[in-house]
Structure 1
Amino acid sequence: MMKIHQIGFIFCILASRVVAVTSSHHSDTQVQWGTCDPSLVNDTSLSCGFLNVPLDYQDPSVGNARLAMIKANATGERRGTVLFNPGGPGEATFAVVNQYKELLLEVTGGAYDIVSWDPRGVGKLTIPGDTFCFDGIEEYIEFFNGTIELKGIEEIGDFSDPADVDALLAQAPEMQKKYEDIGNKCLRGSNGKFLRYMGTAATVRDMVSIANVLEGPDVPINYLGISFGTVIGASFVNMFPERVGKVIIDGVLDPVLLATKEISTHFWHQLVSVDTIYKALITGCALTGPTGCAAASEGDGALDIDAKVQALLRTAYEAAKVNTSAPLTSGLIRTQSFFQMYTPPNWSSLMNEAYPEAVQIIKGEAPGNLSLNRKSSDPTSRSSLMRRVLRDSPSYSAPAILCADSVDLQGTTMADVFNGIIEGTRKASHMFGAGWYAEFYQCSFWPVRSVERYQGPFNKKLANKIIVGSNTYDPITTLAGAQKLTSLLGEDAVLVRLNGFGHTAIVGEPSACIRQTYSAYFTNGTLPAHNTVCEVDADFEVFAGVYTGDILAHLPGGDI
């Protein structure tokens, strides 16, 4: 995916291979469960352990990886194990299981041990763990000082001003050079020798190894994966269709797109629903009024709220044109607020806390530390930029995994990436298309591909039928992606949809219908009807006195 002019990287590309699927029986014979590291897990009912697996399942002489694992015990009569992955990629699983243990046990009926693991390339305890390419945050900030990596992309009106197009494209050579340099830095870093052993195919094989040790090599494998965990799930059911037990994948990132296209130039296809979710946000704000939303005035409709947000973006845009050190740019507002579209339970705080702060910052009445970067209740909702800035040393785990899976380098330039972003603002998302979602734009310049990539097909005949879940309006894993995968799997998959907003059906908004549907499947094998539609819980308030049904009934039409 990168323009090949760095001869030192070519050996990594030529060494990459797409291999036939074979069994994954190489692993330790047991897991010794014990107390979890209290710095990572505060729930003492959870237990942790390790499992050694081959770095390269086709060449065990390369050595072993060590997987850090966490387990929540079944609360009822135990029927086996459900393996769980919360997505990312690059998101450590221990904190997610620690936070969502009760929900995970509920949706599996309490009949299974929930076992998750930090995949290779993730976390503090798995080896190889997090990928660090800078010595510290100071080096990272100095390296990207003055660039869109830290400031975001400045534009107004879908790049309707040719000057904005020219200004962005003028930065392409510098940004391409920086991303190529990052690849070199990562290769020289502590994880450099491991980068070619990361990726989804290896993670799937690791998952099978875990199941073999915990339940036996011939036992059907049960799995729950959300967000990027659906890429793992879609690959698993097609790499090992004969091992498929009870599987739910929720919030589908189109595996065919990832396997066959450059995500850096096609990422905008994932944004087709996010402007509708923004409309839901401002509609809820208008419906609750000034007592429940700081952006609302008496009598405001959704379009009035939008006019205020657009005025804020324009003020930030104009301030950045005058002052290159402006503390809060329109690009940063877009990028950071995009991730708040993931979690409607946070929208009241967003509009009552972060929005007034942004107004004050841009007016010069407050320091430039917008609360949009607060940790969300959804661990998948923080941008890579915020995850990096909030750590002592910036992590490159997400691109290390995502780009390891990517198609071969295509000679794509950063100008091509920028033109894709411009196209995305016009075809997919007027509001968020110009956000700088760094990990998705690096793969055209990442020097390494995994030694094994699963690139399809995704229509295998499965040993058991699975559930594919989706929200109607998901900001990054679209309903269309879930429908596509369900169609490919034919009679072996049923689609369940939550009629609401946010990222994934299971955590976007609360729904007893979703939880009960998933639980019935895991506990009794009960499959819902294909295209089952669940509603959000009727008592869930998005804003004070405003419910999801109210917002759905009042969404404005047309573009924003």
Structure 2
Amino acid sequence: MLVLIAATLLVSGLATAAVTGDERPMDPENNLAFQWGPCDPAIVEDPSISCSFFEIPLDYHDRSAGTGRVAVAKANATTERFGTLFLNPGGPGASGLAALDQLGSTVLSLTGGHYDLVSWDPRGVGPLTIPGDIVCFSSVEEYNTFWNGTIELTGIEMTGNFTDPQDIDALLSQAPLMQKKYEELGERCLQQPSGKYLKYVGTAATVRDMVAMANALDGAKSPINLFGLSYGTVFGAWFINMFPERVGRVVLDGVLDPILLASEETTTFWPKQLMDADKVYDAFVTGCALAGPDGCSIATQGRTPADVDANIQTLLQRAHDAAHKNSSVPVTSADIRAQLGSAMYSPDEWATFANVSYPQAVDAVDAETSGGVDSRAVKRQGLRKRQNSDPDAVIYSGQAIECGDSVNRKGTTMDDVFRGIISSSRTSSHLLWPNPLAYCPFWPVRAVERYQGPFNQKLSNRVLVLSNTYDPITPVSGARALVELLGEDASLVLLNGFGHTTVEPSQCLNEIISAYFVNGALPEDSTVVCEVDADYEVFTGIDTEAILAALVS
């Protein structure tokens, strides 16, 4: 999943009233749709943020399906109010309440304090929204028992770009079992209490939820303002094309190509998202080499980026070989690749991986190869976000939303999926592996409403599209594709840096975003490139500019 933010939330003092997308707007000065109250300070730490519930229909096209509710949080404008700005942090499955708590002050500053910031836990997310977390296992023990003996727990073992015949045979031999397991998982999820909501969990309905909230807050014809990040750009692309006449000031950062998502199975779509992943990895090893051993423990004095890469590959090979000898070793090459892939999301994490995670992995693999490690019955519980109020529950909210939005099942087999993984390791990225989008060919439910185009509607206002030049999971090609579809209704600004979404600091980029939200101004050029601030160091003494220069030298 394209997750940016995940946290467990418990909010108190919330009230609810019913407003749906086609009702007459309420007076924003006398708004009964929201009854704002304090959030639980143990969860939402910012005391200036208030919380409420908002009632929604489960199915906007069939009101007999019943109603649900979303948990909503708001940070008030601090100066002359221009309206409401909705924040969608992506995921899918990320908590909007957590996002506002963590990002609220930053976004208020970027927007000049002119907007009430509103975010929410979308349907399918969190313990307070209904439908909330999609729980498929009531405990970690159930999860481990179900997946025991499969690559769901062990990860995929490989080296290089999947050229070892033993690794290939080992993966393909699990195809029949894994297909059976994924099909059983879908039925298991349907049988859980949250299973009855699976068909109502989807992005199109969440778009309608936001429009209904905007109607209540600002009026039925008001322009709707949005800041969408990562998978929030899918949400944003759907919104601006489903409701082109309601588009206000919209910023989309870290863009997925909406045409690909609407037309391809997730298992073929995902490798295309990794097309720049190895370029970000190249930047990481380059920065490490420039920093030297004093700033990056993987480097050795006077060595090159290729030497840093060789050190990492040697560790991966040793972990791989240890796992082949004992499948219960604590640290496998799959574990190390997962940590490395996570670090690539943000250059802020590069030094931590290099100087903390990497040495720990070296020590663990040393112990494995020396025979000093006890075997385990179960390797780990897996990478499942646990936002549910039950701390033992294992949830599948992200998968439910991704798969609910995806194209119809096409008879793809797990053997097809695995052969695609092998191929993508040679054409897309040799380090980063597909996320649980592999579930979707076998997921039993699609959302009752999906938006699959057109994506070139004429918009009531121009939108601002942002991208890094090197993003490991939403390559710049996605932003370019969306801007090409929207034509003169979109402006593209690139940040010449690394990571997922424009996470590196840039005064140039901040000024463009602020001018857009405050004055509606966008750059005259069709594409503007901003640089990362020179005082931002990725490794001690090494900034983004130095890494970029070394990459092209």
TM-score normalized by the length of structure 1:
0.89
Equivalents in 2 of 1:488, 1:128: separation in Å? 33
Q: CA deviation at 1:388?
A: 5.3
Cα distance change, pair 358–540 in 1 and its aligned pair in 2 (3 A): same
Superposed CA deviations along residues 263-317 of structure 1, whole A, max 9, x for unmatched, are 1233100001110111111111111111111111111111110000000000001
Does residue 553 of structure 1 match 2:539? no
Q: Give 1:417's aligned residue.
A: 417
Equivalents in 1 of 2:552, 2:326: separation in Å? 36
For residue 184 of structure 1, the aligned residue among 179, 182, 187 is 187
Q: CA deviation at 1:387?
A: 3.0
Mapping of residues 151-166 of structure 1, within 5 Å: 151-166=154-169
State whether residues 388 and 394 of structure 1, in contact with CA within 8 Å, keep that contact through their aligned partners in structure 2.
yes
Does residue 357 of structure 1 match 2:360? yes
* Amino acid aligned to 2:181: K
Mapping of residues 143-154 of structure 1, within 5 Å: 143-154=146-157
Mapping of residues 123-522 of structure 1, within 5 Å: 123-364=126-367, 385=383, 387=385, 392-432=392-432, 435-437=433-435, 439-505=436-502, 508-522=503-517
Equivalents in 1 of 2:394, 2:293: separation in Å? 39
Superposed CA deviations along residues 239-260 of structure 1, whole A, max 9, x for unmatched, are 0000001111110012111111
Cα distance change, pair 338–460 in 1 and its aligned pair in 2 (3 A): same
Aligned residues: 516
**SS of 2:395 mapped into structure 1:** coil
RMSD: 1.9
Q: Give 2:5's aligned residue.
A: none
Q: CA deviation at 1:522?
A: 0.5
Q: Give 1:372's aligned residue.
A: none
* Amino acid aligned to 2:539: F
**SS of 1:387 mapped into structure 2:** coil
Superposed CA deviations along residues 12-70 of structure 1, whole A, max 9, x for unmatched, are xxxxxxxxxxx932599521111012342111110011110111001111111101001
Superposed CA deviations along residues 208-243 of structure 1, whole A, max 9, x for unmatched, are 001000000011111110001000100000000000
Superposed CA deviations along residues 112-169 of structure 1, whole A, max 9, x for unmatched, are 0110011000011111111110010111112112321121111112121222211111
Cα distance change, pair 195–386 in 1 and its aligned pair in 2 (3 A): closer
Deviates more, 1:412-421 or 1:391-400: 391-400
Q: CA deviation at 1:326?
A: 1.2
TM-score normalized by the length of structure 2:
0.91
Does residue 84 of structure 1 match 2:87? yes
State whether residues 127 and 387 of structure 2, in contact with CA within 8 Å, keep that contact through their aligned partners in structure 1.
no
State whether residues 234 and 255 of structure 2, in contact with CA within 8 Å, keep that contact through their aligned partners in structure 1.
yes
Equivalents in 2 of 1:129, 1:306: separation in Å? 43
State whether residues 128 and 194 of structure 1, in contact with CA within 8 Å, keep that contact through their aligned partners in structure 2.
yes
Q: Give 2:531's aligned residue.
A: 535
Equivalents in 2 of 1:556, 1:160: separation in Å? 29
For residue 525 of structure 1, the aligned residue among 512, 517, 520 is 520
**SS of 1:163 mapped into structure 2:** helix
Q: Gaps spanning 5+ residues in structure 2: where?
A: 1-19, 27-31, 375-380
Bigger relative contact order, structure 1 or 2 (CA pairs below 8 A, ≥6 apart): 1
Q: Give 2:51's aligned residue.
A: 48
Superposed CA deviations along residues 392-431 of structure 1, whole A, max 9, x for unmatched, are 2211000110101011110111111111111111111122
* Amino acid aligned to 1:549: E
Q: Give 1:67's aligned residue.
A: 70
Does residue 57 of structure 1 match 2:52? no
* Amino acid aligned to 1:504: T
Q: CA deviation at 1:481?
A: 0.4
**SS of 1:419 mapped into structure 2:** helix
* Amino acid aligned to 1:49: S
Equivalents in 1 of 2:266, 2:241: separation in Å? 21
For residue 25 of structure 1, the aligned residue among 22, 30, 37 is 22
State whether residues 384 and 395 of structure 2, in contact with CA within 8 Å, keep that contact through their aligned partners in structure 1.
no
Equivalents in 2 of 1:146, 1:298: separation in Å? 43
* Amino acid aligned to 1:406: S
**SS of 1:444 mapped into structure 2:** helix
Q: CA deviation at 1:92?
A: 1.2
Equivalents in 2 of 1:85, 1:199: separation in Å? 14
State whether residues 245 and 460 of structure 2, in contact with CA within 8 Å, keep that contact through their aligned partners in structure 1.
yes
State whether residues 302 and 556 of structure 1, in contact with CA within 8 Å, keep that contact through their aligned partners in structure 2.
no
Deviates more, 1:509-518 or 1:405-414: 509-518
Equivalents in 1 of 2:487, 2:42: separation in Å? 45
Identical columns (%): 55
Deviates more, 1:158-167 or 1:387-396: 387-396
